[in-house]
Amino acid sequence: MATSTKKEVYSVWAIPPEDVCDRLAKLMTTLGSEFGGPHFEPHMTVVGAIELTPDDALNKLRSACEGVKPFDVTVDRVAGGTFFYQCVYLL
């Protein structure tokens, strides 16, 4: 009989450089105090909410990272949405 490994929910985030992260964190804290909302680390979601076993998650992440090099992101504008966890978009 095969054993099954419990699946968990995973996301992959791109984290900004420390100086940018610090500035964004301060801004997010200020806005969070004024408008409410959860505290979380500044990030850009690359892949969100996928269900995998821990082994599959690690293998897929390692495989995906083999071809990824550091990259720059330029923000042209900021937009808003209605989904709670994706309400601010940097475009």
Return the higher-pLDDT residue of 90 and 25.
Answer: 25
Residue 56 three-state SS:
helix
Q: What is the pLDDT of residue 26?
A: 94
Domains of the chain and any CATH numbers: 8-90 (3.90.1140.10)
pLDDT in tens, 25-84: 999 899 888 888 788 899 888 888 899 999 999 999 999 989 888 888 888 888 887 776
- Which of 73, 71, 70 lies closest to 24 in space, CA to CA? 73
